[in-house]
């Protein structure tokens, strides 16, 4: 009998989701207004410690609006990590601005703060009180750290560079709900931040996002843009080209029920990371680290596989695990390697591609069973043994959760 498939990251509906959805149906509040939207926004704001949250249809839309309210205009440039999901870069292009792709650092795989600072100091200059890229002549308008996999980027030097060069910080916190940088939620240490509530995230609304900011004016503008820039709802007057980016009451109902269990979801992710760290510690893999200044949300547990050490390359490991019913995934091809961004400037990209090639994210759904974790760890050990002749499942240590 073939073994049950273990997905990479699936949603877990184990709270008030069905009850809240039934309430939407019973009251007929099913579309883009309703009491759950407001409750969801209040709960997102509470969970992140950011005063204002504006719910959006998805995280990509939230990023788009976050960039717009931060002042990004056509032909501006925004610094973003080369190693992030394509949505980070797409959102910049939706503003008709351009990403400058900064390399990831090798230790935590986040945007490299030294390269951010070097790029701004060496490759840019002030012209008529605007910071411009020497190479392209375009204005630099924002820094957008994406806290990938739920581990924060090292924000102190990024904030320092942002202050020195008078740039707002727009955080792509899509993967980092619950992540802390030096004790602060990552969304709170940005001028504007965006979250995702996609189905594979720590908590989901089925699909959804949120723009977060401490500035009431920016929040008001975000709300205006997400609601078709409506000036007068009765006369249908619109002050500019806006977007239909609102989240429905149905989605907000699911999102709220999920957020009520955020602490437990984060505990589950952390326990999974601890299990893998112990169980895989004897294998020649590079395991993810949590910086002393960080509390990761451990969104996706990702390891690096060096062919010379492990005996086989990452792609073959992925196939071997798939044959055992285990879903895994590499980190994204860097943005600079994606066709729509091939002409964008990539600054000193030394690590991003190598990280993509060696990386493998392992199953880590909220509430994943210990048996499943054991199966994943054993499959990795067996694959290593098969290719490197190294002793198989004896190398899997008993994980503890």
Ligand X SMILES: Cc1ncc(COP(=O)(O)O)c(C=O)c1O
CB of 198 to ligand X, least distance (A): 4
Residues 154, 129: Cα–Cα separation, whole Å: 28
Contacting range for ligand X; rule: CB under 6 A; set: 22-30, 54-62, 114-122, 151-159 = 54-62
Is there a contact between 25 and 261 (Cβ–Cβ < 8 Å)? no
Q: Any contact of residue 193 with ligand X (CB under 6 A)?
A: no
Q: Any contact of residue 198 with ligand X (CB under 6 A)?
A: yes
Residues 121, 175: Cα–Cα separation, whole Å: 29
How many CA within 13 A on the CB side of residue 188? 16
Q: For tokens 């995934």, what's the residue? A: 329
CB of 299 to ligand X, least distance (A): 8
Query: Whose Cβ is closer to ligand X: residue 77's or residue 172's?
Result: 172
Binds ligand X (CB under 6 A): choice among 66, 140, 174, 317: 174
CB of 211 to ligand X, least distance (A): 12
Q: Which residue is nearest to ligand X (CB)?
A: 59
Structure token digits, residue 96: 């008709």
**Helix and strand numbers, DSSP H then E, in the chain:** 13, 17
Q: Any contact of residue 85 with ligand X (CB under 6 A)?
A: yes
From residue 13, give the alpha-carbon distance in Å to each of 36, 71, 304: 17, 38, 31
| Residues 349-388 contacting ligand X, CB under 6 A | none
Q: Any contact of residue 84 with ligand X (CB under 6 A)?
A: yes
Count of CB atoms situated within 10 Å of the CB of 211: 36
Site track 255-284 with ligand X (rule: CB under 6 A), x = hit: ------------------------------
Q: For tokens 């723009």, what's the residue? A: 211
Q: Any contact of residue 209 with ligand X (CB under 6 A)?
A: yes
Binds ligand X (CB under 6 A): choice among 81, 133, 196, 383: 196
Binds ligand X (CB under 6 A): choice among 9, 48, 58, 272: 58
Distance of CA 31 to the CA centre of its chain: 27
For 55, the enclosing helix (H) or strand (E) is: strand 52-56
Beta-strand relationship, 192-196 and 170-172: parallel
| Residues 86-105 contacting ligand X, CB under 6 A | 87-88
Kindly list the residues in this chain that would bind ligand X in the complex (CB under 6 A). 58-60, 63, 84-85, 87-88, 146, 148, 172, 174-175, 196, 198, 209
């Amino acid at each position: 009998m073939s073994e049950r498939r273990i997905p990479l990251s699936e949603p877990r509906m184990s709270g008030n989701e069905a009850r809240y959805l039934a309430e939407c149906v019973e009251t007929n509040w099913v579309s883009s207004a309703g009491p759950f939207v407001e409750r969801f926004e209040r709960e997102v704001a509470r969970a992140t410690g950011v005063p204002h949250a504006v719910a959006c249809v998805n995280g990509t839309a939230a990023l788009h609006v976050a960039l717009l309210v931060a002042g990004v205009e056509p032909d501006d440039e925004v610094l973003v990590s080369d190693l992030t999901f394509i949505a980070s870069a797409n959102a910049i292009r939706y503003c008709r601005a351009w990403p400058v792709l900064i390399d990831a650092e090798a230790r935590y795989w986040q945007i490299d703060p030294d390269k951010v600072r070097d790029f701004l100091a060496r490759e840019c200059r002030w012209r008529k009180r605007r910071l411009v890229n020497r190479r392209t002549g375009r204005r630099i308008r924002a820094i957008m750290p994406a806290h990938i996999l739920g581990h924060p980027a090292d924000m102190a030097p990024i904030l320092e560079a942002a202050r020195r060069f008078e740039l707002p910080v727009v955080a792509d916190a899509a993967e980092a709900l619950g992540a802390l940088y030096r004790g602060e939620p990552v969304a709170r240490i940005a001028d504007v931040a965006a979250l995702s509530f996609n189905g594979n995230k720590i908590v989901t609304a089925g699909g959804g996002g949120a723009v977060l900011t401490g500035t009431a004016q920016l929040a008001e503008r975000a709300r205006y843009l997400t609601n078709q820039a409506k000036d007068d709802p009765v006369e249908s007057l619109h002050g500019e080209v806006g977007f239909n980016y609102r989240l429905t009451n149905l989605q907000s109902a699911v999102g709220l029920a999920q957020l009520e269990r955020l602490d437990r979801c984060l505990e589950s992710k952390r326990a999974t990371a601890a299990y893998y760290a112990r169980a895989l510690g004897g294998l020649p893999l590079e395991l993810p680290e949590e910086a002393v200044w960080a509390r990761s949300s451990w969104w996706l547990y990702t390891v690096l596989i060096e062919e010379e050490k492990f005996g086989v390359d990452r792609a073959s490991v992925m196939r071997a695990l798939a044959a055992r019913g285990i879903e895994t995934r590499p980190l994204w091809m860097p943005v600079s390697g994606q066709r729509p961004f091939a002409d964008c400037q990539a600054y000193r990209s030394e690590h991003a591609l190598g990280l993509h090639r060696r990386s493998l994210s392992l199953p880590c759904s909220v509430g994943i069973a210990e048996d499943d974790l054991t199966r994943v760890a054993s499959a990795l050990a067996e694959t290593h043994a098969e290719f490197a002749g190294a002793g198989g499942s004896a190398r899997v240590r008993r994980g503890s959760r």
